[in-house]
Amino acid sequence: MSDHIKRAEQAKTLRVFRKIHRITGAGLFVFFFIVALTGLLLGWKKNSNGYLLPNTAKGTSAEFRDWLPLDSLYNEAIFAIKTQNGVDYPIDLDRLDINKEKGVAKFIFDKDYWSVQIDGATAKVLSIDVRRSDFIENVHDGLIIDKLTNNSASLFKLFYTTIMGLALLTFTITGFWLWYGPKRMRKGS
């Protein structure tokens, strides 16, 4: 095969990769912007002075033998969240995080991303805060749409993360080729 034909094929391949790169970038620009911004915020959540992610309070004992039963801690968290937001506030516990080293149980509620930190040994409420980072994470991975539409199967999140992952892979491959292809053509191979 002559060098001229080889260069023409390489140039054609470059044009195809450039077109794929351009169309994918234009079509997914807003989503890439959202993923980049929310990813940046999530990276900084523990360094936000408690704004994005509330700082973990310190309880009185890191020994489980000193702790009260979880149902007692849970009841205190429920009382605290209802005192904060009203007795009709819906209680849907999203998860429970235990930080043994700090002696704290964190009760994280689904509605409005509230978190109540309870001293494991005394059941004293140490903080009631909004976990903004949980909202940001839900935007980052697309789960926010599933929550808004009450889709417990998280189908949008699955679709969204698949598309974004494939798009990132496409950008990596086409971007590499757009960088390497001209170098290869200049070498004449």
Does residue 22 belong to any structural domain of this protein?
Answer: yes
Q: Tell whether 149 and 166 lie within a shared domain.
A: yes
Ordered alpha helix ranges (H), the chain: 3-43, 70-85, 132-140, 143-148, 155-187
Total count of domains within the chain = 2
Per-residue pLDDT tens, the chain, 189 aa: give them: 566 677 788 778 778 878 887 888 778 889 999 999 999 999 999 999 999 999 999 999 999 999 999 999 999 999 999 999 998 988 899 999 999 999 999 999 988 999 999 999 999 999 999 999 999 999 999 999 999 999 888 999 999 999 999 988 988 888 887 787 777 777 765
Cα(132)–Cα(52) distance, integer angstroms:
5
- Full domain range(s) for residue 151: 3-45+143-187
Q: Tell whether 147 and 170 lie within a shared domain.
A: yes
Model pTM score: 0.80
Does residue 135 belong to any structural domain of this protein?
Answer: no
| Tokens read off for 80 | 């605290």
Of 59, 42, 48, 50, the closest CA to residue 117 belongs to 59
